[in-house]
Amino acid sequence: MKRKQFRGFTAAEVMIAMTIVGIITALTIPTIMANYQNKSMLTTLQKNYVELTDNLLYMGTETYNKSFYKSLLSLQGRSVDATAGKFFDKYYRTATKCGTTAQPCFASTYRAINNAEFKDFKCENGYSVTLNTGTAMCIIPADAPKDATEDTPATTGKPAKVYIDVNGSEKPNIGGRDMFTLYIYDDFSIDDKDITPDVIKNGNAETARETLFNSTCRTSYTGEGCFGKIMNDNWRIEY
């Protein structure tokens, strides 16, 4: 009987196989890492959203029967330290208080999703901190009308504005990835720009969020218009 002969792989075949594996790895690893990073940052954003919602609820309970401009989040002739600063002191555990200066809590340079770079980030008229979790937050208090009184709630004026960088000054420092902009309205709800309680009540919130996303998210270094899209997509980043 003839003996069967078995051949091994040649050096050339091994090199070709290793090259193919290397190419596949080079193509897939960055995608896997990017997806993991997005999910990690999204999870942190959701935790910060829940915590902010809870803290606003506590504050709302303590300031019951007082109009929004009287709350800790509205200036109404008071300093930002006595409003947003006091809110952080009372309801958060902070590692660093940057106060009216954004750095070193936030990075100084941010990029938009379209890669446009913006330097010298400031949270003007706001109060910045780094939380014990590593998240950077800045709250710009609401500007209630000067003629508002305790009997006439502040239903006009700009809502309180919040910048959240889920990993502080660490990279990637990109709007819509780790940096987001949120708004707090007079019923203590949190949403995107101009998504007021009335818009939600009228059933127009989802469309309004989508419109805002298409017009601003990819070009905003602070993630303006991205948060509403994430809420629309049931807490997923699909952009």
What pLDDT score does 153 carry? 47
Cα pseudo-dihedral 149, 205, 162, 78, rounded to 10? -10
What pLDDT score does 208 carry? 97
* pLDDT surpassing 80 at residue 106: yes
What pLDDT score does 150 carry? 47
Task: Name the average pLDDT for the chain.
Answer: 84
Residue 24: band (very low, low, confident or very high) from pLDDT cuts 50, 70, 90: low
Alpha carbon distances (Å) from 219 to 25, 113, 115, 159, 215: 31, 6, 8, 22, 8
In a domain, 56, yes or no: yes
The residue type found at 68 is F
Residue 69: band (very low, low, confident or very high) from pLDDT cuts 50, 70, 90: very low
In a domain, 191, yes or no: yes
In a domain, 152, yes or no: yes
Average pLDDT score over residue span 29-52: 80
- % pLDDT > 90, the chain: 60
What does the block give as tokens for 164? 């959240």
User: What is the domain count for the chain?
Assistant: 1
User: Could you identify the residue written with the tokens 């989508």?
Assistant: 210
In a domain, 131, yes or no: yes
Q: Describe the strand order of the beta sheet including 179-184 as a list of residue ranges.
A: 94-99, 127-131, 136-140, 160-165, 179-184, 190-191
- Rounded-to-integer distance, Cα 5 and Cα 235, Å: 59
What pLDDT score does 202 carry? 95
What pLDDT score does 232 carry? 95
* pLDDT per position as a tens digit, 137-176: 999 998 755 555 444 444 556 899 999 999 999 999 999 9
In a domain, 28, yes or no: yes
In a domain, 83, yes or no: yes
- Rounded-to-integer distance, Cα 124 and Cα 138, Å: 9
For the entire predicted model, the pTM comes to: 0.81
- Residue 104's domain spans which residues? 13-232
Contact 127, 80 (CB under 8 A): yes
Contact 95, 133 (CB under 8 A): no
User: Could you identify the residue written with the tokens 């995608």?
Assistant: 31
- % pLDDT > 70, the chain: 75
- Rounded-to-integer distance, Cα 111 and Cα 97, Å: 24
What pLDDT score does 158 carry? 82
* pLDDT per position as a tens digit, 179-226: 999 999 888 899 999 999 999 999 999 999 999 999 999 999 999 999
In a domain, 143, yes or no: yes
Residue 100: band (very low, low, confident or very high) from pLDDT cuts 50, 70, 90: very high
